[in-house]
Amino acid sequence: MRMVVANWKMNHLRRDAEAFCATLLASYRPVDGVVAAIAPPFPLIPVVSRLVAGSGVRVYAQNAHAEAKGAYTGEVSMAMAMDAGCTGVLLGHSERRQYNGETEATLLPKVKAAAAQGLMPMLCVGETLAQRDANETLEVLRGQLAILAQAPVSPIAVAYEPVWAIGTGRVATVEQIAEVHAFIRKELATLMGAPGAQVPILYGGSVTPENFAEILKVPHVAGGLVGGASLDPAKYLKLLEIASL
């Protein structure tokens, strides 16, 4: 199975989302084995969910809170994300780690809460440039993945996004991606047992229609988590087409 997940981050207003979906749906045809998903900002989740209903395109949240409800001003629960039309949720995106203090301690209950709610968590992991330069990449990833030993939930997906490749136009080399994805596959088997072999591992970080085919050839790469290029419906369609080849 392959997945192409559009992470819109904090972009688009309703009119942009409507225009995006109109262009997407004019050409999109579901292909067996290729999951198309869009992760819009919270206010656009109901809009996108309504527009893509019946098309096969899935909607994910970019984050959600671990608690089911209560006095958490500004937060959105897993149940609310699901109620608005989501079937999955990104967790631990590096921007949330960097700007919102997400850590393994906050992510473990989120992974559990998502799975308990029936939302597929997509756990995002990745090293900074300083960590890569210090040869700490695999240790950092091991630490980020370790929570899965306490939350061996299924279904789940993992996205490897080197922080230095996100939004920079600087994509990881196929050798770097190959090394890390093979490592993650091994870690997942250790942490989760046999089901770890089935977990899709996506690559993210400056994915474009120009480099995606090459990236998809790397062993253990099951698709892309795409920011910048996913804001343009023509590019997103192209990425879906590449994933279907």
Residue nearest to ligand PGA (CB): 227
C-alpha 154/C-alpha 199 separation (Å) is: 8
Q: Verify binding: residue 227, ligand PGA, rule CB under 6 A.
A: yes
User: If you search the block for the tokens 């149940």, which residue do you land on?
Assistant: 79
Task: Give the residue among 87, 79, 32, 33 at the shortest CA–CA distance from 58.
Answer: 87
User: Is residue 93 annotated as part of the catalytic site, yes or no?
Assistant: yes
CA max distance for the chain: 48
Task: Give the residue among 98, 109, 7, 8 at the shortest CA–CA distance from 65.
Answer: 109
**Which of residues 89, 192, 226, 239 is near ligand PGA by CB under 6 A?**
226
β 34-39/58-61 pair status: parallel
Of 95, 102, 127, 161, catalytic: 161
Restricted to residues 133-162, the positions that interact with ligand PGA (CB under 6 A) are: 161
* Phi-psi region at 12: left, alpha or beta (left = phi > 0; alpha = psi -120 to 50): left
Q: How many residues bind ligand PGA (CB under 6 A)?
A: 13
Per-residue x/- track, 159-178, ligand PGA (CB under 6 A): --x----xx-----------
CB of 74 to ligand PGA, least distance (A): 22
User: Is residue 12 annotated as part of the catalytic site, yes or no?
Assistant: no
**Nearer residue to ligand PGA within complex by CB, 33 or 167:** 167
Q: Verify binding: residue 121, ligand PGA, rule CB under 6 A.
A: no
**Nearer residue to ligand PGA within complex by CB, 159 or 191:** 159
- The burial class, CB within 10 Å (0-12 / 13-18 / 19+), for 69 is exposed
Q: Verify binding: residue 102, ligand PGA, rule CB under 6 A.
A: no
Q: Verify binding: residue 98, ligand PGA, rule CB under 6 A.
A: no
Q: Verify binding: residue 63, ligand PGA, rule CB under 6 A.
A: no
**Which of residues 88, 204, 209, 233 is near ligand PGA by CB under 6 A?**
204
Q: Verify binding: residue 205, ligand PGA, rule CB under 6 A.
A: yes
Report the catalytic residues.
93, 161
Chain residues in the site for ligand PGA (CB under 6 A): 7, 161, 166-167, 204-207, 225-229
